[in-house]
């Protein structure tokens, strides 16, 4: 049976699809919890955004570009001066510091036939359905170090860093840009928490509190051990006299003197 929140989320998403602004949107909390993370950002895929630019008998691909907000505004173009899309990589742009890099390439999501809601009701299929609606930037931790990797590399983002994202519609036959969204609003990844700020205990106890708790636990253990040792010593002492009595050998009784044999 399809859970109510899944139905509500997908129905709402379908209702808002045609009205969304023409720029990448961060995924709704109902679709992606803990978003952004330290190194990833989950975005909604561009459903219905490029429908007016699509033509029958044509093949299209969506490119997703990422760029640090600190990059120069003059380097935010995603074409090479003509209508050809940039193929700049994460390494070439220093992780988006020098300009946009291509973080993903995927098929144009179908506005007419989105994933079936009935599949979202199956726990084993929820993950697959969400992947069709969302794309997680920074989700590949191995592509930078794999010499045999030939696909578009989508390496982890930098923590505590602000990024912008852009979807671009590519005519796969001609290899040209046909349409594109605006750059997204700034989206900042989470920062690494200081050890003293980490919630390591229910009630958000600090690191110092945990140290104190540990010390008290050790002292309690030593106290219990001392009590057990004292009780054991007292028991042994109480049993001491009776044990000695049981163990003391009986005094040897003198033997009867032999009668003296008189001399005749």
Task: Flag whether 203 is in a domain.
Answer: no
The verdict on residue 248 lying in a domain is no
Residue 263 falls within a domain, yes or no?
no
Number of structural domains (the chain) is 1
Does some domain include residue 56?
yes
Does residue 243 carry a pLDDT above 70?
A: no
pTM for the full predicted model: 0.66
- The reply to whether 227 falls in a domain is no
pLDDT band, very low/low/confident/very high, at 89 (cuts 50, 70, 90): very high
Residue 65 lies in a domain: yes
What's the pLDDT at 9? 45
* pLDDT tens sequence across 162-203: 999 999 999 998 999 999 999 999 999 999 876 655 555 555
Residue 88 forms part of a structural domain: yes
Cis peptide before 245 (omega within 30 of 0): no
Q: Confidence class of residue 6 from pLDDT cuts 50, 70 and 90?
A: very low
pLDDT at 59 (0 to 100): 93
Determine, yes or no, domain membership for 119: yes
Residue 51's domain comprises 25-191
Cβ–Cβ under 8 Å, residues 49 and 57: no
CA 37 to chain centre: 7
Question: Which residue is it, tokens 């349409």?
Answer: 179
User: Which pLDDT belongs to residue 67?
Assistant: 96
């Amino acid at each position: 049976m399809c859970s109510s929140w899944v139905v509500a989320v997908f129905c709402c998403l379908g209702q808002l699809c045609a009205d969304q602004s023409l720029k990448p949107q961060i995924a709704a909390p109902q679709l992606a919890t803990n978003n952004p993370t330290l190194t990833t950002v989950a975005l909604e895929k561009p459903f219905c955004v490029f429908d007016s630019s699509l033509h029958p008998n044509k093949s299209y691909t969506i490119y997703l570009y990422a760029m640090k907000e600190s990059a120069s505004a003059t380097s935010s173009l995603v074409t090479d001066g003509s209508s050809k899309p940039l193929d700049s990589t994460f390494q070439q742009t220093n992780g988006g510091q020098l300009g946009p890099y291509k973080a993903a390439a995927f098929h144009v999501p179908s506005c007419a036939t989105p994933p079936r809601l009935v599949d979202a009701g199956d726990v084993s299929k929820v993950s697959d359905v969400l992947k069709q609606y969302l794309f997680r930037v920074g989700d590949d931790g191995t592509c930078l170090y794999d010499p045999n990797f030939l696909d578009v590399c989508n390496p982890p983002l930098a923590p505590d860093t602000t990024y912008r994202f852009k979807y671009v519609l590519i005519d796969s036959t001609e290899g040209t840009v046909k349409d594109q969204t605006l750059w997204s609003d700034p989206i900042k990844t989470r920062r690494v928490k200081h050890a003293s700020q980490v919630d390591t205990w229910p009630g958000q106890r600090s690191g110092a509190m945990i140290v104190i708790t540990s010390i008290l636990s050790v002292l309690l253990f030593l106290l219990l051990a001392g009590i057990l040792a004292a009780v054991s010593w007292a028991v042994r002492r109480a049993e001491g006299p009776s044990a000695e009595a049981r163990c003391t050998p009986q005094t040897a009784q003198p033997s009867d003197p032999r009668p003296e044999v008189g001399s005749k």
